[in-house]
Amino acid sequence: MTAAPGGAGPVGVAVVGAGVISAQYLSTVSRFPDVRIVAVADLDEERAAAVARTHGIPVSGGPADVLALPEVELVVNLTVPTAHARVAAAALRAGKHVYGEKPITLVPAEAEKLLAEASERGLLVGNAPDTFLGAGLQSALRAVAAGHIGAPVAATTVTQGLGPEAWHPDPAFFYQPGAGPLFDLGPYYLTSLVALFGSVEQVAATAARAREERVVGSGPKAGQAFPVDVPTHVSSLLRFASGVRAHSTFSFDSALPRIRFEITGTEGTLSVPDPNTFGGPLRLLPNGSGTWRELPVRGRTDG
């Protein structure tokens, strides 16, 4: 592996994990002038090389090789969930800041250890999702703070469908520990709810697994069955320190695709944009009006 020459200027970023989601990160990050992608790494070095060629990135290789590059200051960790903690720890030991895909780790104790090590080394750790910083959720926060729905009382969130195996060429990891609808989609909704209403004080939940196996629906593995090791339907009741209640459902088992995020207050209901995006429509239904009206959505929508 040959490294590109380093230099002052934008933050040097290495992407570790060259799977499907890497294309979205690489195409987005390249639009920001204060960062530059200098390398792509993957255990499958041929896949890393192919992704690097597609996006015009000068260096590719295995994770250890890329972490050793002095021009890499920040590692974007896009590995499968079971590898998140291990890769992040290796990046910190190499002196790199880390931004990772969700979840940060599989269990809280691992996350606490990771954050403690980062603090000791004077490094930063960030993690997805960051969509709550986008125009959609920030505009919803402003609408609630402005009193458009009065005092918030409750929220309802739903994200459901048949799961990613219909379109993802290698979907087995979505059904392994650290994934499933709770870990794959839940963070967008739960992060947004906490941003809106503060810490959660009490949780009750139930979960189910509809099938023991799923079948790949596209790509070279189409028709292959794989095991399901996690719940595929989760329903929860949350009570926040602010007094607001929420009911959230996350499911890979429904033939009816549905995305819903509503906040009910004493004076009306707010329909919030999809928290898996940075924008989208924000609508208000005042009590007694019977008519939804659009509220302005202002802020960043480009990630």
Question: Rounded CA gap, 148 and 121, in Å?
Answer: 45
Strand, helix or coil at 34? coil
Is 22 within the bounds of a domain? yes
Kind plus residue range of the DSSP H or E element containing 93: helix 84-93
Question: Rounded CA gap, 109 and 260, in Å?
Answer: 32
pLDDT in tens, 181-218: 999 999 999 999 999 999 999 999 999 999 999 999 99
Domain count, the chain: 2
Q: What is the CATH number of the domain that holds 25?
A: 3.40.50.720
Question: Rounded CA gap, 140 and 252, in Å?
Answer: 27
Query: Residue 170 has which token pair?
Result: 């290698």
Q: Domain check: are 271 and 143 in the same one?
A: yes
Average pLDDT over all residues of the chain: 94
pLDDT in tens, 30-87: 888 999 999 999 999 999 999 999 999 999 999 999 999 999 999 999 999 999 999 9
pLDDT at 31 (0 to 100): 86
**Closest C-alpha among 303, 197, 300, 195 to residue 246:** 197
Place of tokens 């709770």: 182
Strand, helix or coil at 122? coil
Is 1 within the bounds of a domain? no
Question: Rounded CA gap, 31 and 162, in Å?
Answer: 33
pLDDT in tens, 102-143: 999 999 999 999 999 999 999 999 999 999 999 999 999 999
Q: What is the pTM of this model?
A: 0.89
Q: What is the CATH number of the domain that holds 182?
A: 3.30.360.10
Domain boundary pick from 70, 97, 127: 127
301 has a pLDDT exceeding 90: no
Q: Domain check: are 45 and 140 in the same one?
A: no
Q: Domain check: are 123 and 245 in the same one?
A: no
Is 2 within the bounds of a domain? no
pLDDT at 3 (0 to 100): 39
Beta strands in the chain (DSSP E): 11-16, 35-41, 59-61, 74-77, 97-100, 125-127, 152-160, 200-208, 213-215, 225-227, 233-240, 245-251, 258-265, 268-271, 282-286, 293-295
Is 16 within the bounds of a domain? yes
pLDDT in tens, 246-278: 999 999 999 999 999 999 999 999 999 999 999
Is 141 within the bounds of a domain? yes
Please give the radius of gyration of the chain, using alpha carbons only, rounded to the nearest integer.
21
Query: Residue 89 has which token pair?
Result: 């720890």
Q: Which residues form the domain of 179?
A: 131-295
Rounded to the nearest 10 degrees, the angle between the axes of helix 22-29 and helix 45-55 is: 30
Query: Residue 39 has which token pair?
Result: 């390398």
